[in-house]
């Protein structure tokens, strides 16, 4: 056999890794040996996950490539060695070590460097960029040193650039305990991905997480004292004091080697290549962020992977060409979901927009569809991107249903049947994998789990946002083929949610990092497992949900222990157990609402919801409620909501039991219980069912002899009446049975599965449930009882806990400092004696003087064009 030829890859980044992996996988005859020159002193690593460095993960966790790949005799990785020049004629490159290396083929995969704008003072101590592990390690070291030097004051950080990198950097600063400000030149955050309304929603969400957002602001100079950063000056003269500046203002291709070697580069940089990823020297290719293919340079990893595959194909005699790329993005920035896909800005002629602005969850969702509303063209999701995995693959396709059903509240896109996805639809844009390829991996290549499908197809191995959809496709296909469906939670955990719950319960671990290290199969976690771990930890009562690493796993509402509303304010809904409230209690709630100018509404759960609270007001409101003997309540989170009751025997002529007393008892018992989904209960005092208990997860209906217990009901998209579990129970047995039902559900349900769906999936259905919770068929009843007892005895009011813990309270105090004036973006109209958010039409009408608006302090505001002066 002839000697293998030598391919040299310059650059040891993500795309270089993919190139080597693909080459070694496909070059089964060993026609090529490969040398990778990596200037950084480490193997290729997952740059996309760079920010996880700030959650305490070891940088080595980010390394890419199994040990056997780098130990392959046909692979040589040279860490800390840079290529310094190329001699095309002799097919040689010079190295930083002084050596010269011969090549048969050269692949440039040198990526990009972080661009720093031409403003004065960027060389001061305390200025950073955000590109490599060394960059983030330096940033962390600097901030930690400042904190050690000045323990009495919070470190202030400022990020120049409000794109996805800038927001990641702002999150990193927060994770380091620094205050963060984002300064963006464009009029909105993430201007390349979201439209003005999406940008506004994003700015509000991010702003309310403690990041000071300045849009439409140009940074003019970095200011310093004794050589160290002390502030920045904006165009117009405003100065912002800061100790650290991070530049996240874009990247530039590292095409210097190619330029010097005389290879053509694009107008805005990047080594010009054709569809085969070849430069004008056929012995040299360029892939990844350094390549300028069809006139474009791609700052995303997926196109780079496609180029790596094409180049490998060509080296092995194939004829692959770059298939084009998809700029779809889905990210979780500071705990806020943002996704943008397809024609997000509705540029296609006649394109229509369907917009949903969710007043309860505080989300902005937009779908762009063709002029006949049949074909999905693109979309933007801010605050809730659960539907992304199901929607993105449908871009350019007919939508099977009404567009609005995909973005309606609680739509996860999972309602979209994956079975109807045509085979040629791409589900993983990072790795260009179609639905058909996933199906074939199961049906034809014998893959038996999500992990195997990922290894076989590479679907979901990069950004991971397609994993929920891939998992669904795999399961559907397995069922079709009569194969037992794997219960593995995701690629990071071979355990099912129920098994993971038990594992965490037994080992008592309390951080995501420890749990994935001990019970996982490696990796940094994904959109599937992270929220599951957060929920499990909360169910097990592993400390306050804002304690330590847990805080980073929580969603926006849980971050601030209140319900985000469509105008960016929050609602507070005091717990009113069983809907029973004293006149004094009513007065307190009334006074709080009046004093803070809140809109009040009686909810379906028999509580009084107060809307329109700013974040800085939340601790003040909680203080008033706590002092009056109330606690705030959960109208968010996967937890107990309320126990609704009718007036019962005490007053009602038909009542046969004290439904109110039972409802109060149950609400106080299960408050704070975190579960796979929300929990609602109802108690009716007789069979007339005025509390609509059978529409709840647990319904209790009084009988002459005690209580009938119903389980697994719900309202919502697919209403379901609860099933009768037991009849004529006495109080004690009733409570014990509900304890066991809840704990059994919490331990064994799948992620985001309500009791109705769980019961439908339970082998043996309600009969089996009866055997477990009443007959102790599994011998776990004592364990379930003990678990509920632990929950009840350790329950603590999480809002009062914040008030009593200066560290947690500090999350809110930064808003208090920032909120000296009312927020001009909050505009209301008075209606039926209360203020409610103004609609877009009303804002326009106000500018014409036709409608009167008030601000968040309920003072009149005057609109003049796009400026909003506030009358004092």
Ligand X SMILES: Cc1cc2nc3c(=O)[nH]c(=O)nc-3n(C[C@H](O)[C@H](O)[C@H](O)COP(=O)(O)OP(=O)(O)OC[C@H]3O[C@@H](n4cnc5c(N)ncnc54)[C@H](O)[C@@H]3O)c2cc1C
Task: Provide the annotated binding site for siroheme.
Answer: 690
Q: Tokens in use for 67?
A: 């040990």
Residue 304 binds to ligand X (criterion: CB under 6 A):
yes
By beta carbon distance, the residue nearest ligand X is 13
Q: Tokens in use for 24?
A: 């070694």
Residue 663 binds to ligand X (criterion: CB under 6 A):
no
- Residue 685 Cβ vs ligand SF4, minimum distance, rounded to whole Å: 3
Residue 153 binds to ligand SF4 (criterion: CB under 6 A):
no
- Residue 734 Cβ vs ligand SF4, minimum distance, rounded to whole Å: 17
Phi, psi of 451 (to 5 degrees): -60, -45
Residue 683 binds to ligand SF4 (criterion: CB under 6 A):
no
- Residue 606 Cβ vs ligand SF4, minimum distance, rounded to whole Å: 13
Q: Which of 109, 248, 615, 686 binds ligand SF4 (CB under 6 A)?
A: 686
Q: Which of 637, 655, 682, 706 binds ligand SF4 (CB under 6 A)?
A: 655
**HSE of 509, CA atoms in CB hemisphere, 13 A:** 19
Distance CA 731, CA 389 (A): 46
- Residue 166's binding partner out of ligand X, ligand SF4, none, with CB under 5 to 8 Å set by partner kind: none
Is residue 365 within 8 Å of residue 341, measured between CB atoms? no
Residue 526 binds to ligand X (criterion: CB under 6 A):
no
Q: Which of 486, 684, 737, 814 binds ligand SF4 (CB under 6 A)?
A: 684
Given the complex with ligand X, which of 299 and 460 has the nearer CB atom?
Answer: 299
Cross-strand partners of 379: 341, 367
- Residue 642 Cβ vs ligand SF4, minimum distance, rounded to whole Å: 17
Helix axis angle for 133-149 and 164-175, nearest 10°, is: 40
Is residue 670 within 8 Å of residue 690, measured between CB atoms? no
Residue 110 binds to ligand X (criterion: CB under 6 A):
yes
Residue 753 binds to ligand SF4 (criterion: CB under 6 A):
no
Q: Kindly tell me the sign of the dihedral angle through the C-alpha atoms of 374, 375, 377, 380.
A: positive
Residue 106 binds to ligand X (criterion: CB under 6 A):
no
Q: Tokens in use for 610?
A: 């107060």
Residue 104 binds to ligand SF4 (criterion: CB under 6 A):
no
Q: Point out the annotated binding site.
A: 646, 652, 686, 690
Residue 269 binds to ligand X (criterion: CB under 6 A):
no
Residue 178 binds to ligand SF4 (criterion: CB under 6 A):
no
Is residue 441 within 8 Å of residue 456, measured between CB atoms? yes
Phi, psi of 475 (to 5 degrees): -65, -45
- Residue 721 Cβ vs ligand SF4, minimum distance, rounded to whole Å: 16
Please report the DSSP string for 778-815 in residue order.
TS-HHHHHHHHHHHHHH---HHHHHHH-HHHHHHHHHH
Distance CA 357, CA 803 (A): 31
Residue 689 binds to ligand SF4 (criterion: CB under 6 A):
yes
Q: Which of 648, 682, 699, 713 binds ligand SF4 (CB under 6 A)?
A: 648
- Residue 315's binding partner out of ligand SF4, ligand X, none, with CB under 5 to 8 Å set by partner kind: none
Distance CA 529, CA 468 (A): 10
Alpha carbon separation from 531 to 53, 307, 459, 619 (Å, rounded): 19, 33, 21, 26
Q: Which stretch binds ligand SF4 (CB under 6 A): 64-72, 316-324, 494-502, 643-651?
A: 643-651
Residue 301 binds to ligand X (criterion: CB under 6 A):
yes
Q: Determine the length of the chain.
A: 872
Interior angle at CA 439, CA 438 and CA 445, nearest 5: 85
Q: Which of 22, 34, 37, 681 binds ligand X (CB under 6 A)?
A: 37
Residue 688 binds to ligand SF4 (criterion: CB under 6 A):
yes
- Residue 702 Cβ vs ligand SF4, minimum distance, rounded to whole Å: 7
Name residues whose C-beta falls within 8 Å of residue 47's C-beta, 6 or more positions apart in sequence: 13, 14, 131, 132, 301
Name residues whose C-beta falls within 8 Å of residue 402's C-beta, 6 or more positions apart in sequence: none
Q: Which stretch binds ligand SF4 (CB under 6 A): 247-255, 413-421, 681-689, 810-818?
A: 681-689
Q: Which of 21, 27, 72, 168 binds ligand X (CB under 6 A)?
A: 168
Residue 302 binds to ligand X (criterion: CB under 6 A):
yes
Residue 175 binds to ligand X (criterion: CB under 6 A):
no
Of 463, 457, 456, 507, which is closest to residue 337 (Cα–Cα)? 463
- Residue 652's binding partner out of ligand X, ligand SF4, none, with CB under 5 to 8 Å set by partner kind: ligand SF4
Interior angle at CA 755, CA 753 and CA 760, nearest 5: 90
- Residue 48's binding partner out of ligand X, ligand SF4, none, with CB under 5 to 8 Å set by partner kind: ligand X
3-state secondary structure (DSSP) of residue 304: helix
Residue 362 binds to ligand X (criterion: CB under 6 A):
no
Of 292, 233, 366, 310, which is closest to residue 23 (Cα–Cα)? 310
- Residue 688's binding partner out of ligand X, ligand SF4, none, with CB under 5 to 8 Å set by partner kind: ligand SF4
Of 810, 811, 815, which is closest to residue 212 (Cα–Cα)? 815
Cross-strand partners of 79: 38
Is residue 79 within 8 Å of residue 40, measured between CB atoms? yes
Q: Point out the annotated binding site for [4Fe-4S] cluster.
A: 646, 652, 686, 690
Distance CA 256, CA 112 (A): 10
3-state secondary structure (DSSP) of residue 660: helix
Given the complex with ligand X, which of 111 and 685 has the nearer CB atom?
Answer: 111
Residue 167 binds to ligand X (criterion: CB under 6 A):
no
Given the complex with ligand X, which of 287 and 646 has the nearer CB atom?
Answer: 287
Of 315, 318, 302, 310, which is closest to residue 273 (Cα–Cα)? 310
Q: Which stretch binds ligand SF4 (CB under 6 A): 463-471, 644-652, 734-742, 819-827?
A: 644-652
Distance CA 88, CA 492 (A): 44
Q: Which of residues 45-84 bind ligand X (CB under 6 A)?
A: 47-48, 50-51, 82-83
- Residue 9's binding partner out of ligand X, ligand SF4, none, with CB under 5 to 8 Å set by partner kind: none
Q: Which stretch binds ligand X (CB under 6 A): 152-160, 299-307, 337-345, 504-512?
A: 299-307
Q: Which of 652, 766, 803, 854 binds ligand SF4 (CB under 6 A)?
A: 652
User: What is the separation, in whole angstroms, between the first and last Cα of the chain?
Assistant: 87
Of 170, 220, 210, 219, which is closest to residue 190 (Cα–Cα)? 170
- Strands of 712-778, DSSP E: 723-729
Residue 646 binds to ligand SF4 (criterion: CB under 6 A):
yes
Q: Which stretch binds ligand X (CB under 6 A): 11-19, 360-368, 496-504, 743-751?
A: 11-19
Residue 837 binds to ligand SF4 (criterion: CB under 6 A):
no
Report the chain's C-alpha Rg in angstroms.
Answer: 29
Distance CA 27, CA 312 (A): 9
Given the complex with ligand X, which of 95 and 348 has the nearer CB atom?
Answer: 95
Given the complex with ligand X, which of 14 and 315 has the nearer CB atom?
Answer: 14
Give the contact letters, 599-638, x = binds to ligand SF4 (CB under 6 A), - = no: ----------------------------------------
Residue 458 binds to ligand X (criterion: CB under 6 A):
no
Alpha carbon separation from 107 to 6, 229, 281, 381, 822 (Å, rounded): 11, 40, 11, 37, 56
Q: Which of residues 256-285 bind ligand SF4 (CB under 6 A)?
A: none
**Interface with ligand SF4 by CB under 6 A: which residues?**
646-648, 652, 654-655, 659, 684-686, 688-690
**Interface with ligand X by CB under 6 A: which residues?**
10-16, 37-40, 47-48, 50-51, 82-83, 109-112, 130-131, 165, 168, 254, 257, 288-289, 299-302, 304, 331, 463
């Amino acid at each position: 056999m002839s000697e293998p030829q030598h391919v040299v890859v310059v650059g040891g980044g993500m795309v270089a890794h993919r190139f080597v992996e693909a080459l070694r996988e496909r070059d089964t005859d060993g026609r090529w040996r490969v040398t990778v020159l990596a200037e950084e002193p480490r193997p290729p690593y997952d740059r996309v996950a760079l920010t996880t460095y700030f959650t305490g993960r070891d940088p080595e966790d980010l390394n890419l490539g199994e040990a056997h790949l780098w130990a392959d005799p046909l692979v040589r990785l040279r860490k800390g060695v840079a290529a310094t020049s190329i001699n095309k004629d002799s097919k040689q490159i010079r190295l930083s070590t002084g050596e010269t290396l011969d090549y048969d083929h050269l692949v440039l995969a040198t990526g990009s460097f972080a661009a720093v704008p031409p403003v004065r003072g960027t060389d001061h101590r305390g200025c950073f960029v955000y590109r490599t592990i060394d960059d983030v390690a330096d940033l962390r070291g600097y901030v930690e040193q400042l904190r050690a030097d000045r323990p009495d004051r919070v470190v202030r950080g400022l990020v120049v650039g409000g794109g996805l990198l800038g927001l990641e950097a702002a999150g990193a600063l927060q994770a380091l305990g620094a205050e963060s400000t984002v300064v963006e030149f464009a009029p909105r955050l993430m201007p390349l991905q979201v439209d003005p309304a999406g940008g506004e929603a994003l700015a509000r969400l991010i702003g309310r997480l403690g990041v000071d957002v300045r849009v439409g602001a140009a940074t003019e100079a970095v200011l310093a004292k004794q050589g160290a950063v002390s502030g920045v000056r904006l165009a117009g003269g405003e100065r912002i004091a800061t100790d650290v500046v991070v530049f996240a203002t874009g990247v530039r291709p590292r095409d210097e080697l190619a330029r010097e070697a005389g290879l053509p580069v694009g107008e805005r940089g990047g080594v010009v290549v054709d569809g085969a990823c070849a430069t004008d020297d056929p012995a040299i290719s360029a892939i990844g962020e350094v390549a300028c293919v069809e006139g474009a340079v791609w700052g995303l990893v997926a196109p780079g992977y496609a180029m790596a595959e094409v180049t490998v194909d060509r080296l092995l005699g194939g004829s692959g060409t770059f298939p084009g790329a998809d700029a779809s993005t889905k990210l979780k920035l500071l705990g806020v979901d943002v996704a943008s896909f397809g024609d997000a800005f509705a540029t296609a002629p006649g394109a229509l927009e369907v917009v949903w602005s969710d007043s309860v969850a505080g989300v902005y969702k937009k779908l762009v569809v063709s002029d006949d509303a049949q074909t999905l063209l693109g979309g933007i999701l801010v605050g809730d991107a659960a539907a992304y995995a199901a929607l993105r693959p449908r871009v350019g396709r007919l939508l099977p249903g009404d567009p609005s059903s995909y973005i309606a509240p609680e739509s996860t896109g999972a309602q979209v049947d994956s079975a109807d996805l045509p085979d040629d639809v791409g589900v993983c844009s990072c790795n260009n994998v179609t639905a058909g390829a996933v199906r074939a991996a199961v049906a034809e290549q014998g893959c038996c789990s999500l992990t195997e499908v990922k290894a076989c197809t590479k679907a979901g191995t990069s950004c991971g946002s397609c994993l929920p959809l891939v998992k669904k496709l795999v399961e559907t296909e397995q069922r079709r083929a009569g194969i037992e469906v794997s219960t593995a939670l995701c690629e990071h955990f071979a355990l099912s949610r129920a098994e993971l719950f038990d594992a965490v319960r037994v080992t008592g671990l309390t951080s995501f990092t420890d749990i994935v290290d001990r019970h996982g199969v490696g990796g940094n976690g994904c959109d599937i497992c992270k929220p599951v771990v957060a929920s499990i930890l909360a169910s097990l009562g592993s400390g306050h949900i804002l304690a330590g690493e847990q805080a980073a796993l929580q969603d926006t509402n849980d971050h601030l222990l209140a319900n985000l509303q469509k105008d960016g304010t929050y609602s507070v809904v005091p717990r009113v157990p069983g809907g029973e409230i004293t006149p004094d209690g009513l007065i307190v709630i009334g006074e709080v609402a009046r004093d803070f100018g809140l809109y009040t509404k009686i909810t379906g759960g028999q509580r009084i919801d107060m809307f329109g609270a700013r974040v800085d007001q939340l601790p003040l409101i909680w203080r008033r409620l706590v002092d009056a003997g109330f606690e705030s309540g959960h109208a968010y989170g996967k937890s107990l909501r309320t126990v609704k009751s009718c007036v019962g025997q005490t007053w009602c002529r038909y009542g046969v039991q004290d439904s109110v007393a039972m409802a109060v008892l149950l609400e106080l018992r299960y408050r704070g219980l975190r579960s796979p989904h929300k929990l609602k209960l109802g108690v009716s005092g007789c069979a007339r069912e005025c509390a609509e208990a059978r529409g709840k997860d647990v319904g209790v209906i009084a009988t002459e002899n005690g209580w009938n217990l119903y389980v697994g009901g719900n309202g919502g998209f697919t209403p379901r009446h609860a099933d009768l579990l037991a009849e004529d129970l006495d109080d004690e047995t009733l409570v014990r049975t509900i304890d066991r039902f809840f704990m059994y559900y919490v331990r064994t349900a799948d992620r985001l599965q309500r009791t109705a769906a769980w019961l439908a999936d339970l082998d043996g259905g309600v009969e089996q449930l009866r055997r477990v919770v009443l007959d102790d068929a599994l011998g776990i009843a004592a364990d379930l009882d003990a678990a509920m007892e632990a929950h009840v005895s350790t329950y603590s009011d999480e809002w009062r806990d914040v008030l009593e813990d200066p560290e947690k309270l500090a999350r809110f105090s930064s808003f208090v400092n920032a909120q000296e004036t009312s927020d001009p973006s909050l505009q209301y109209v008075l209606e039926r004696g209360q203020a409610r958010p103004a609609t877009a039409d009303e804002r326009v009408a106000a500018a014409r003087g036709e409608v009167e608006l008030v601000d968040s302090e309920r003072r009149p505001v005057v609109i003049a064009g796009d400026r909003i002066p506030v009358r004092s």
